[in-house]
Structure 1
């Protein structure tokens, strides 16, 4: 009896294997009908490094995000009520102020590094040029208390201001119902971070990576091909095309000799005092790079083609032709995307008392 059962199970298993082998499911190709082979090859090469970014919803979806939006645009977050987060990271100009370096709330105070775009910052592995903040929330805490930026002397000053506004008290309580004391500095940063995670920008390049081969024109595809052949993706990788690695500016050639107008900056070394971090910076995202000029850590270069030329020479030890520089720049413009009007519009901010 036992042997019959074993025989039955064995025969059944073999039959199942035969069925699986002889009845392979047909895998449906995701490639567009009538696709161009060259486009498919270009896409396949790019897919080794990139994947399409999903589009954020057009509306904010929670009280926490709405609170973060209000705080982002509120000048109460600066010592004299003159600056908000949006002052240096203006959502109408692609999350930057288009200055080489930004002025602080106190007259005469000037930052020493270019203000990076806040758009797509949630896709980065860390924040600031030197990566000193691990998260958006940690980053949000920095400028508010920085004496060169928004210059609030200590967090209690800001919290007292917010507690004096009925609308904020109610919105903090609804956003943090589990907290007895909802208005805390951590919660301010949490709300701003929740809002900033909505600031992603899908572009035509994402449509191409989602197999819409007509999303890029011939020149843009040529630019993408040159971009990959040159090795630009060795630094500008990931969904943000940057924001992941830390690389020494001038790995192949001294950047002060290639572009003497760029200020010397010790980079991460200022923070870590590790000799291996000298002149290292976080690789910036290339999304919206067409709009986020001026370029580099000091904002000293205003022309996109010129910045590509400097990068090719200093990081790749390559001198690209004028035609290649032009086409890479054309491709980079396909990375421009938009935040929905409702999300980037200034909300109703409670009046000062």
Structure 2
């Protein structure tokens, strides 16, 4: 008798679990359970869709976002067209870049609003140096001049509908709004309180309503371009290398009309800012993501959700992140004013005077709203586009990186000792950059400021890093 083949398995009883037939049956049983589970899940999903059809795009979209980082509902953004600049705008570009128009002969508009830095400051100083000898410290950090092409004039309350009625003063508008409770801002929702807070305008306090009005401000500021009068600006323009362009555009007589020449020069600067695409590029990673042309990383996706979450960061409550109904790209500002209570920047020369307070809308750099004390401490909400390229934040430049900015929002109310200086008794001097009689204007209703002392902050450190990752997607120049 031949010996058994060692390559063959020994004979197994039919009931043994290791028997090949039983193993196949077990595999088929497991596969059957899996198919049944998938079928049940699909049935539940279909049933849910039948009951809540309006929720399906959001649910499916969230799944797609989580897996791929893609926008499941891309939009076609309506951005300003790119076309050749008008002759007036080309003249404005030369004026914008001309340092000879300053008292020092060394400072132009572009010195503080650098094209290479999203038309913001080119360094990390809290304020810029200027004046006749370029040694005087400014009062506030220059805001970016980018993305102002849709900025409305300064106002309080809704637009006046009756064009035949007498103009309403700021005092009248403020009085009308004073009896109404301020609405809480919610992320992702259009501003809910246009009748209650100021909106629009340029500079941190909104004192200029047009780009033309804004352009003359630095020309006459004693710590910036430092001309003593529009007459000095006029004489500098008469000696400019582009004077013949003024004559070609506005006629030879303009050189004998000082006020008109200066007005047209500032108008030209405004046209340059309005027409040149570099002031509103819309080439960030987020813009491409909105259009379905880029994918966000997992950290950026988490940051976007936290940015929009009304119970967490709630950034989008003021920095609107969604396209408008007519597909205009978001500007990441509601153009309204907020009193945030940021700590005093003791490094500013102007703050060496302990009795000086920069109170935004109600002064001291604008004087037409000095009596509107319900707005003291309020400053314009800036765009967050290109925010990662900035190095001085808030109206006094007290912070120099986004981590400190986010810590301020997160800890201002829950752990104020980490934000404000301590007095002799070790108690934090909360809201130390605004007189006590105006501190009721400071926002304590909107998240994350709705937390109380000692409570858990709205965000973890990981949350903050994700939000910063998202804010980095708002920088122009991304290559999809």
Q: How do residues 327-346 of structure 1 correspond to structure 2 at under 5 angstroms?
A: 327-338=466-477
Q: What TM-score results when the alignment is normalised by the length of structure 1?
A: 0.74
2:92 matched to 1:54?
Answer: no
Q: CA separation in 2, counterparts of 1:70 and 1:77? A: 11
| Structure (1 or 2) with the greater helix fraction | 1
Q: Where does the alignment leave 5 or more consecutive residues of structure 2 unmatched?
A: 1-56, 152-199, 322-329, 352-356, 413-442, 452-456
Q: What TM-score results when the alignment is normalised by the length of structure 2?
A: 0.55
Q: How do residues 139-154 of structure 1 correspond to structure 2 at under 5 angstroms?
A: 139-154=214-229
Would the aligned equivalents of 1:201 and 1:336 in 2 still touch at CA under 8 Å?
Answer: no
Match of 1:226 among 306, 313, 328: 306
Would the aligned equivalents of 1:104 and 1:111 in 2 still touch at CA under 8 Å?
Answer: yes
Which residue is 2:235 aligned to? 160
Which residue is 2:131 aligned to? 105
RMSD value, Cα? 3.3
Match of 2:254 among 153, 177, 181: 181
Q: CA separation in 2, counterparts of 1:43 and 1:127? A: 33
Which residue is 2:360 aligned to? 267
Tell me the secondary structure at the aligned position of residue 137 of structure 2.
coil
Structure 1 residues 232 and 79: alpha-carbon distance in aligned structure 2, compared to 1, 3 A threshold:
same
Post-superposition shift, 1:64? 1.3
Q: Where does the alignment leave 5 or more consecutive residues of structure 1 unmatched?
A: 1-30, 340-353
1:169-202 deviation per Cα after TM superposition (whole angstroms, max 9, x unaligned) = 332234446x952761111111111111221131
Structure 1 residues 52 and 276: alpha-carbon distance in aligned structure 2, compared to 1, 3 A threshold:
farther
2:292 matched to 1:211?
Answer: yes
Which residue is 2:105 aligned to? 81
Which residue is 1:23 aligned to? none
User: Larger Cα Rg: Structure 1 or Structure 2?
Assistant: 2
Q: How do residues 114-125 of structure 1 correspond to structure 2 at under 5 angstroms?
A: 114-124=141-151, 125=200
2:129 matched to 1:90?
Answer: no
Post-superposition shift, 1:96? 2.2
Post-superposition shift, 1:204? 1.5
2:398 matched to 1:300?
Answer: yes
